[in-house]
Amino acid sequence: MSKRDFLRLTDLSLAECSEVYGLATVVKRDPRGERKRALDGRSVAIVLEKASTRTRASFEVGVSQLGGHPVVISLEGSQLARGEPVADTARVLERYCDAIVYRTSSSDRMTEMATARVPVINALTDTGHPVQVLCDVFTMEEVLAANGKGPRLRGRKVAFVGDGSGNMARSMIEAARLFEFQLHLCAPPGFRPPAYEVAKAAELVVLHDDPRKALRDVSFVHTDVWASMGQEGEAETRRKAFAGFTLDARLLSAAPPDAWVMHCLPAHRGEEIDDATLEGPRSIVWQQAENRLHVQKALLLFLLGLA
Ligand code: CP
Ligand code: NVA
């Protein structure tokens, strides 16, 4: 059987996502249950070329809760920082580890890591954050079910307000296509997603100029930082370009009163979201962050054929 990677959301079919979500529900209910030795004797490399709190901690804890050994390799202190090719790193890690979780900048580096003979999970590049969005769809469906609104996101409206050219928005577009929800995306000019990515999800992605219009009738409102990792030098320009895009009570008044607010975190309070909204009753960001642990454990088991 050939190895399975998770480099983009559509590397899984809808049915496979359902399988992962079913398993995530099981491991969430009983983190130390029957799966606690599932990775016994196995190791997972977590290679981080950019900063991380949630991704690192959730994968590291997740692997150890499954009885495996996580090997965290940060850029600084590794030979990657001294120019060792990613492909060489992949050829070595595949000999020690059963899977590789990788966070980097470019898709090319991700593709190079995926030459490893073991499953590679994309833990963020500049153009996508598929593992976050896989977990976020689980959270949205969990919240819908818990509130008696049916178990599936399919056919519902979700808004994304903010940087449409960033990794989160772009993975959300892919998610709209896979899970068949309607994504209402509003970003200022110059920060819209690439047209070819929108075109692939044609009738499921609606672009807006006015953030208030994007929020009409949605079940969830999602956002992300205005300046992603590596774009710190553009922070001031971006603050100006994104004026009026802060998720606050004024903007949220355009959404239904029962719409939930999401953010992948870390948040820049006062920029893309204000403190009151992040901490308010409509925010599900902490549940969203927690589910990284459960869904990623399920994803690892699935990719390793241990589901
Ligand atoms: N949301 C997310 O991926 O967080 P980290 O950058 O802290 O891993
Ligand atoms: N868009 C953000 C996501 C962080 C999890 C970034 O790339 O910095």
Catalytic status, residue 103: yes
Single out the catalytic residue among 4, 8, 97, 132.
132
Closest C-alpha to ligand 1, atom 7: 53
Q: How far apart are CA 288 and CA 283, in angstroms?
A: 9
Number of domains in the chain: 2
Closest alpha carbon to 192 in 165, 222, 219: 165
Is 267 a member of any domain?
Answer: yes
Closest C-alpha to ligand 2, atom 2: 228
Name residue, tokens 């999401």. Answer: 262
Q: Which ligand is nearest to the CA of 131?
A: 1
Is 4 a member of any domain?
Answer: no
Q: Which of 27-36, 131-140, 190-199, 212-221 has the lowest mean pLDDT?
A: 27-36
The pLDDT tens digits of the residues spanning 36-52 come to 899 999 999 999 999 99
- Residues having CB closer than 6 A to ligand 2 are 124, 129, 166-168, 224-225, 228-229, 264
Q: Which atom of ligand 1 is nearest to the CA of 56?
A: 8
Which domain CATH number covers 181?
A: 3.40.50.1370
Domain range holding 155? 130-288
Is 43 a member of any domain?
Answer: yes
* 39 and 102 together in one domain: yes
* 176 and 193 together in one domain: yes
Is 245 a member of any domain?
Answer: yes
* 138 and 282 together in one domain: yes
pLDDT value of residue 150: 85
Q: Which ligand is nearest to the CA of 125?
A: 2
pTM for this prediction: 0.98
Is 91 a member of any domain?
Answer: yes
The pLDDT tens digits of the residues spanning 87-142 come to 999 999 999 999 999 999 999 999 999 999 999 999 999 999 999 999 999 999 99
Expressed in angstroms and rounded, the spacing between residue 57 Cα and the centre of ligand 1 is 9
pLDDT value of residue 1: 67
Is 101 a member of any domain?
Answer: yes
* 186 and 208 together in one domain: yes
* 161 and 224 together in one domain: yes
* 22 and 137 together in one domain: no
Is 27 a member of any domain?
Answer: yes
* 137 and 284 together in one domain: yes
Single out the catalytic residue among 136, 163, 224, 274.
224
Catalytic status, residue 224: yes
* 108 and 135 together in one domain: no
* 164 and 281 together in one domain: yes
Is 3 a member of any domain?
Answer: no
Q: Which atom of ligand 1 is nearest to the CA of 123?
A: 3
Contact in structure between 162 and 136 (CB atoms under 8 Å): no
Q: What is the SS3 string spanning 109-151? A: HHHHHCCCCCCEEECCECCECHHHHHHHHHHHHHHHHHCCCCC
Catalytic status, residue 129: yes
Expressed in angstroms and rounded, the spacing between residue 53 Cα and the centre of ligand 1 is 5
* 47 and 135 together in one domain: no
Give the angle 34-37-41 at the CA atoms, nearest 5°: 165
* 118 and 146 together in one domain: no
* 165 and 268 together in one domain: yes
